[in-house]
């Protein structure tokens, strides 16, 4: 508590001083977690107005601005024009990049949400942070200082702080940056914002424009992202300290509106284990006896994955279809033990009520080999886990991939609206089946639970601020074997830009 009180004094002082400056947004990308912006981007992509893959977040502004600059000179339906206006309003200008960006955030919840989707949410019971953004030529920096009482590790954190340096159309970055890969909204199978962002370095392209050479131009728009980071040590991990984590993603768009991605996650090194050059080579090659020896001496733990997304317009309606699969490594050239996520969206405009609307259905299954009951070789306690790294793909007690961890299924039906004042509303029904085999490797619940929950919420802007309110009702809670504990929750957050 002493750390929180000290942090509160520091936060108040920083806000008072920084409020004297004229500020604006100066980041090179749209951060993961901005659900309204992502919804607008997906709508514009369905109409062919955003070019390039949109399944890797943060999404660089360079891709968006290139698309907007080459937009056809014609009119679009009212809700598409409104989405265009919202996106254009957030595009950084030259004067923005010359300014200092400052944002404060406060949030509170009666209980942390069970399902942490793309839109995030308050961690622990309360949180507060202040962020500073600055741009110098081709350099970008963001410092975010925040605090939460009772979170794993220190109560003070630097989540979503980073330094990024552009080199032509490439950007290298270092920090604790939230990332989300794939078309899912309720979970990213291989990388999501479920866990707090761990410290990492990485690089990617800013504008995914096609190759100039005819030999590779058939790939269309493409991007690549490579990150290397270190997971938590000591208090929260029981297997090894100083574990290294690498993520690799390649995305391309061979046809308009069709996004394809290939992913890989490698967990290796750790105190007392080999972390030399040959170990990394064996892990990267990843086949047969090089990586899958079945002994404690093998290089590490790996997951491979792929995802696909397609969107288009039929009449007055836009739609999107997406799927993502991951598979644990295996002692053969072809990986197996698959997990799967499927989803679809349908959207349009309700002219009588002046509401943009969207329906979404999504289902995910992290029981290895189950594939929603159609698989023939079900493997409990496998997905996100490993016999060497027994804590698996976790950072600070949360799975880096899907939010319900291993051996779980999640089904979601959502309806959402945006009104003419740019306020958003949503209603979701979820059915969560957690830890189907009462296994030891699910950190959400130590026992099997089947939970139905309803979420209703709204968000909107006011001046320089932005507010969000959500209420949730659940017919059970995690870790309550043999009984059903009804629970009602409320969560609220506010953001200000000075």
Q: List the beta bridge partners of residue 145.
A: 130
pLDDT in tens, 109-141: 999 999 999 999 999 999 999 999 998 888 999
Q: In the chain, what is the greatest distance between 2 CA atoms, to the nearest angstrom? A: 66
As separate numbers, helices (DSSP H) first and strands (DSSP E) second, the chain gives 6, 25
pLDDT in the model for residue 222: 96
At 267 the pLDDT is 92
Cα gap 26→494, rounded to integer Å: 20
Q: Which residue has the tokens 């050479």?
A: 213
Q: What pLDDT score does 333 carry?
A: 52
Which residues fall within 8 angstroms of residue 309, CB to CB, at 6 or more apart? 54, 55, 183, 258, 259, 320, 321, 322, 323
Residue listed under structure tokens 């996004």: 259
Assigned token pair, 245: 């984590």
State phi, psi for 89 to the nearest 5 degrees: -65, -25
Q: How far apart are CA 169 and CA 61, in angstroms?
A: 12
Report the candidate in 226, 182, 249 with the shortest Cα–Cα distance to residue 401: 182
HSE (CB half, 13 Å, CA atoms) of 65? 14
- State the Cα–Cα distance between residues 209 and 66, nearest whole angstrom: 9
Predicted pLDDT of residue 34: 93
Give pLDDT, residue 111.
94
Low-confidence ranges of the chain (pLDDT < 70): 1-26, 96, 234-235, 286-295, 329-336
Q: Tens digit of pLDDT for each residue in 251-294?
A: 999 999 999 999 999 999 988 888 888 888 888 876 655 555 56
At residue 369, the pLDDT reads: 85
The H-assigned helical ranges of 254-357 are 277-285
- Length of the chain measured in residues: 498
pLDDT of residue 29: 92
Q: How far apart are the first and last CA of the chain?
A: 28
The answer to whether the beta carbons of residues 368 and 378 sit under 8 Å apart is: yes
Q: Where are the beta strands (DSSP E) in 329-393?
A: 336-350, 355-365
Dist. CA 385–CA 406, nearest whole Å: 8
Phi, psi of 460 (to 5 degrees): -175, 165
- What pLDDT, in 10s, does the model give residues 192-248? 999 999 999 999 999 999 998 888 888 899 999 999 999 987 667 888 888 999 999
> Domain 21-497 is in which class?
mainly beta
pLDDT on residue 287: 62
């Amino acid at each position: 508590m002493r750390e929180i009180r000290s942090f509160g004094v520091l936060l108040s002082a920083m806000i008072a001083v920084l409020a004297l400056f004229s500020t604006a947004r100066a980041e090179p990308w749209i951060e993961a977690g901005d659900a309204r912006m992502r919804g607008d981007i997906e709508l514009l992509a369905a109409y062919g107005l955003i070019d390039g893959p949109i399944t890797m977040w943060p999404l660089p502004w360079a891709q968006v601005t290139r698309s907007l600059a080459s937009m056809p000179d014609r009119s679009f339906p009212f809700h598409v024009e409104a989405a265009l206006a919202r996106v254009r309003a957030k595009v950084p200008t030259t004067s923005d990049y010359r300014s200092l960006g400052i944002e404060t955030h406060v949030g509170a919840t009666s209980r942390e949400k069970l399902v942490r989707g793309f839109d995030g949410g308050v961690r622990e019971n309360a949180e507060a942070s202040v962020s500073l953004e600055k741009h110098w030529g081709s350099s970008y920096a963001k410092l975010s200082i925040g605090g939460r009482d009772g979170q794993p590790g220190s109560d003070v954190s630097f989540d979503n702080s980073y330094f990024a340096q552009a080199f032509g159309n490439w950007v290298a970055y270092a920090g604790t940056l939230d990332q989300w890969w794939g078309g899912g909204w309720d979970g990213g199978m291989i990388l999501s914002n479920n866990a707090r962002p761990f410290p990492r370095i990485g690089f990617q392209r800013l504008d995914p424009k096609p190759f100039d050479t005819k030999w590779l131009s058939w790939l269309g728009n493409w991007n690549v992202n490579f990150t290397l980071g270190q997971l938590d040590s000591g208090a929260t991990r029981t297997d090894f300290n100083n574990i290294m984590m690498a993520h690799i993603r390649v995305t391309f768009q061979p046809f308009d509106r069709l996004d394809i991605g290939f992913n890989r996650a490698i967990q290796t090194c750790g105190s007392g284990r080999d972390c030399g050059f040959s170990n990394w080579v064996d892990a990267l090659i990843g086949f047969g006896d090089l990586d899958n020896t079945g002994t404690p001496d093998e290089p590490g733990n790996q997951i491979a994955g792929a995802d696909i997304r397609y969107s288009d317009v039929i009449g007055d309606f836009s739609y999107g279809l997406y799927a993502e699969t991951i598979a644990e490594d295996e002692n053969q050239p072809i990986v197996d033990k698959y997990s799967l996520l499927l989803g679809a969206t349908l959207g349009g405009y309700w002219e009588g009520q002046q509401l943009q609307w969207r329906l979404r259905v999504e289902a995910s299954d992290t029981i290895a080999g189950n594939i929603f009951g159609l698989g023939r070789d079900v493997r409990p306690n496998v997905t996100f886990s490993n016999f060497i790294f027994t804590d698996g793909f976790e950072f600070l007690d949360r799975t880096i991939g899907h939010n319900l961890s291993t051996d779980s299924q999640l089904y979601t039906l959502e309806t959402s609206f945006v009104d003419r004042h740019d306020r958003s509303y949503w209603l979701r029904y979820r059915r969560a089946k957690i830890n189907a085999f009462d296994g030891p490797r699910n950190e959400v619940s130590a026992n099997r639970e089947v939970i139905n929950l309803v979420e209703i919420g709204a968000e909107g802007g006011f001046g320089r601020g932005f507010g969000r309110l959500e209420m949730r009702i659940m017919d059970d809670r995690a870790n309550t074997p043999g009984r059903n504990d009804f629970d009602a929750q409320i969560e609220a957050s506010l953001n200000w830009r000075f």
